[in-house]
Amino acid sequence: MAVLVIADRDGNTVRDTTHKTVTAALKLSGDVDILVIGQGSKAAADAAAKIAGVRKVLLAESAGLGHQLAEAVEATVVGLAGGYDAILSPATTDGKNFMPRIAAKLDVAPISDIVEVVSPDTFTRPIYAGNALETIQTSDAKKVITVRPTAFDAAGEGGSASVETVTGADAGKSAFVSEEMVKSDRPELGAAKIVVSGGRALGSAEEFHAVMDPLADKLGAAVGASRAAVDAGYAPNDYQVGQTGKVVAPALYIAIGISGAIQHLAGMKDSKIIVAINKDADAPIFQVADYGWVADYKTAVPELMKALG
Amino acid sequence: MKVLVPVKRVIDYNVKARVKADQTGVDLANVKMSMNPFDEIAVEEAVRLKEGKEHHAAGTASEIVVVSIGVTQAQETIRTALAMGADRGLLIQSDADLEPLAVARLLKAVVDEEKPDLVLMGKQSIDGDNNAVGQMLAALLDWPQATFAGKLVIADGKATVTREVDGGLQTVAATLPAVVTVDLRLNTPRYASLPNIMKAKKKEIAVKAVADYGVDTAPRLKVLKVTEPPKRAGGIKVTDAADLVAKLKTAGVL
């Protein structure tokens, strides 16, 4: 049984979501290859070849693959699928976009967002916004799976796999127009060791940034937000932590002025340590917090800044 | 332009799903059911395409057909979409909980019959959370797809879609016919007015059976069990910053 992992490429390297997906893949088989997709991805393929436990790296380049367009990725992967019993990708927005398309072309029932490999044909995944976990067994000979990265440890470095070039397909009926990526000196929300998140209690976009940004900078943290804060316009869309936003699992998650709606908890409850600061002692966030501080953020955050030195 | 909008009847998003004691699934007995919130956004956008609201030219959509696959009561979900402004409905009756592949195949059969120029649908249903049917339908039709739409512009035979992706926004242009799946921030769905609710009662809903389409809907996945996620025990309260920082240092996270 051989497994193909589709890498989450980031310029000249691959994101650690790739390493985490390799960990899941190694639970299926010892024969794990990585496919790196995109124009000018040789350096990223070389980086993927260093991931421990990888047999070989396939590099597919074409103009259409530069932006991971679903149609081009599907045509490329379907062309390679004959050699594999399972195809895995991290459950990023890219993976969620192209994996079901690949599955349909292969006549396979896709398995989305797994958090556990029970056996090579049985997996556990969250349903109902994380309020239930289902364990499912597939009867498909070939498997197409997306992996929730926060549920797996990252595979280490130290591999020395070979890199082979394979044919990359073009996009056909869809075309890339533009992209607008948020630039920030802070760590990426999904990968940060510490996340500080603000909620609707902050009351305005100015207050949100005035309170959250200095604290994040002091801690070297990424900034997140609840959906309520995003919907109110206090924080941009890509800050959103929750079932409808990003799922994070940092070592330390500090929730400030967040009540803890179910959909927010689904996005952060796997964090190692959760701190909640909220003036409402009955806020549901305290039920999941390791350290709860019933206080107004207006006094608590400045005190915390001072205590951090 | 004809628009097809698939909608699903799911547990209301305000209701907390409870796992059955025998671990066979989630208890839906006597639970409030509603239209999947992402599908509501798709219906709203289709209606705006017809009305010419926001940046859409009036009459961009000429007809809006709503299709649901599910139990008899899913007619209520279709009726909600008709009250919002869709023109007619189709229910493919099924008591079985069909997998995304089966749903995509049935929708392909509907597309072959209805020949829409655009399929506009929610990015995922909030029960199974698969986020798969739209992409699979596009693949089966060999159509382009644009998922997680935060903005949609229809012009020159193309759907130009600004997609909500990790780290920001990506804009792609898909040549019609295409499948577009919608994300939360595309629009805020309207509440149907009373006159429109009354009008919707007269709109047609055709009812068919899964068997009428002659597609294979056999399950590929077997649910072995459905369980509650592990509970996080609430921790301790702190009352000042110095105490908190000391505890975080002890825990090794600072």
Shortest CA gap B198–chain A (Å): 32
Q: Which residues pair with B7 in a beta bridge?
A: B68
Section A130-158 average pLDDT: 95
Give me the pLDDT at residue A309, please. 87
> Closest residue of B to A179, CA-based?
B170
Strands B178-182 and A13-14: unpaired
- What's the whole-number average pLDDT of chain B? 96
Q: Is B244–A112 a contact, with Cβ atoms under 8 angstroms apart?
A: no
Section A221-242 average pLDDT: 92
Shortest CA gap A56–chain B (Å): 27
All residues of chain A having their beta carbon less than 8 Å from the beta carbon of residue B150 are: 237
Give me the pLDDT at residue A236, please. 86
Contact A113/B at CB under 8 A: yes
Find which of B106, B220, B254 to mutate to test the A interface (most A CBs within 10 Å of its CB).
B220
Q: Is B145–A101 a contact, with Cβ atoms under 8 angstroms apart?
A: yes
Give me the pLDDT at residue A149, please. 92
Query: Of the ranges A105-119, A158-172, A273-287, which one carries the lowest mean pLDDT score?
Result: A158-172
> Closest residue of A to B172, CA-based?
A176
Query: Of the ranges A100-114, A168-182, B74-88, B146-160, which one carries the lowest mean pLDDT score?
Result: A168-182
| pLDDT tens digit sequence for B206-225 | 999 999 999 999 999 999 99
Find which of A73, A116, A188, A244 to mutate to test the B interface (most B CBs within 10 Å of its CB).
A244
**How far is the CA of B127 from the CAs of A180, B40, B65, in angstroms?**
31, 15, 23
Query: Of the ranges A97-111, A169-183, A278-292, B117-131, which one carries the lowest mean pLDDT score?
Result: A169-183
**Looking at the partner chain, which of B163, B168, B253 has a beta carbon nearest the beta carbon of A238?**
B168
B201, A128 Cβ separation under 8 angstroms: no
* Whole-number percent of chain B with pLDDT over 70: 100
> Which of the four pLDDT bands, split at 50, 70 and 90, describes residue A205?
very high
**How far is the CA of B102 from the CAs of A222, B3, B36, B136, in angstroms?**
40, 21, 18, 10
> Closest residue of B to A98, CA-based?
B135
Section B240-252 average pLDDT: 95
- Predicted confidence (pLDDT) at residue A35 exceeds the cutoff of 80: yes
Give me the pLDDT at residue A154, please. 95
CA geometry: angle at B85 spanning B81 and B86, to 5°?
A: 60
All residues of chain A having their beta carbon less than 8 Å from the beta carbon of residue B247 are: 291
All residues of chain A having their beta carbon less than 8 Å from the beta carbon of residue B122 are: none
Place of tokens 């902050």: A202
Flag whether the ipTM exceeds 0.90. yes
CA distance A104 to B108: 12
- Predicted confidence (pLDDT) at residue B237 exceeds the cutoff of 80: yes
| pLDDT tens digit sequence for A147-158 | 999 899 999 999
> Closest residue of B to A266, CA-based?
B229
**Looking at the partner chain, which of B131, B175, B221 has a beta carbon nearest the beta carbon of A137?**
B221
